[in-house]
Amino acid sequence: MSSKIILLPGDGIGPEITAPTLELLEALGTGFDYEEHAFGGAAIDAHGTALTDATLAACKAADAVLLAAVGGPKWDTTDPSKPRPEQGLLGLRKGLGLYANLRPVRPLEALYDASPLKREVIDGTDLLVVRELTGGIYFGEKTRSADSASDLCTYTRAEIERIARVAFRAARRKVTSVDKANVIETSRLWREVVRELHAAEFSHVELEHVLVDNAAMQLVSNPADFDVIVTENMFGDILSDEAATLTGSIGMLPSASLGDPESPGLFEPVHGSAPDIAGMGVANPLAMFLSAALMLRHGLGMEAEAAAIESAVDRALADGLRTRDLGGSAGTHEATQAVLSNL
């Protein structure tokens, strides 16, 4: 029986990068069964909510979920009573129990000159950001009045242990646990739990604790020193986007959000919906392609097919493919054909 994939094209450039990704997957002969649902702003327009119960149920019953991008000025609001596209993302992560967000960052030599950092700084960088995805300040109780607002940040020992375990298992040589233990109480618990887990189960892996402000500085001054970074939800959100600059464009970064083995994973590019270029045919589809590769690897156990996509992207870039965000002129169609020709 073929695997069931839920497609969430979303908003902006989302549909434009979803279609060529399906073309790429079909070229591999995967033969998946696809089902498309409105999500984010598109779902707000159609149903009044960013994530419908029917879409969540379909995602729970699928083998994997492939998401493009959500959001745009049309749905921006500070009114807490109005729906926002991002609420769909939070609801999907919570509903599927996706507590671990993986963002690999590996600048390609062909794109070193596209990075704002010097070649010698990024050379050899190959790191993974492991972000806790369902706890912390994003999901804590919120209050709002005319003159004040609050967001509660809470973490439990069990939540910290399970994300730290993902990081230790992924590490080749070192885990860098990032917190703000000099100020924040949740960070003090975080550091304590990570240290105890390391001693009990993963003492063969090097462990270091780094304060988040120092980690932000080290990411752009000595990125090759990192192997696996593990951190809480908000810090991970910020640091993974900072790490994206190392590759030369946020249009190059994929991500995987994983939960328990029986839960389907969610795979999506790190970039947003780019409404300023939507409909122009110039969006970079490479992060979406690489997210599909992560889906094949982590969601469906298809390592050879995942490696084939990643290799085709690498070779296309080595042959000179450059989309606009990488300083070139190739559009979505040209980028797709370049990758397909190297598959």
Whole-angstrom distance, CA of residue 294 vs CA of residue 301 = 10
User: Given 63, 151, 225, 241, which residue is catalytic?
Assistant: 241
Residue 53 falls in the annotated catalytic set: no
Question: Distances from the Cα of 162 to the Cαs of 117, 136, 186, in angstroms?
Answer: 34, 14, 16
Say if residues 338 and 315 touch (Cβ distance below 8 Å).
no
Whole-angstrom distance, CA of residue 252 vs CA of residue 324 = 12
User: Given 179, 180, 227, 325, which residue is catalytic?
Assistant: 180
User: Given 99, 138, 155, 325, which residue is catalytic?
Assistant: 138
What residues contact residue 150 under an 8 Å CB cut-off, 6+ apart?
Answer: 142, 143
User: Given 63, 151, 237, 314, which residue is catalytic?
Assistant: 237
Beta bridge partners of 267: 66, 256
Which run of H or of E encompasses 100?
Answer: strand 100-105
Residue 241 falls in the annotated catalytic set: yes
Whole-angstrom distance, CA of residue 287 vs CA of residue 17 = 9
Count the neighbouring beta carbons within 10 Å of the beta carbon of residue 239.
20
Beta bridge partners of 4: 33
Sign for the CA dihedral angle at 91, 96, 102, 108 comes to negative
Two tokens at 122? 């990024």
User: Given 113, 123, 213, 260, which residue is catalytic?
Assistant: 213
**DSSP code string of 209-244:** EEEHHHHHHHHHH-GGG-SEEEE-HHHHHHHHHHHH
Show which residues are catalytic.
138, 180, 213, 237, 241
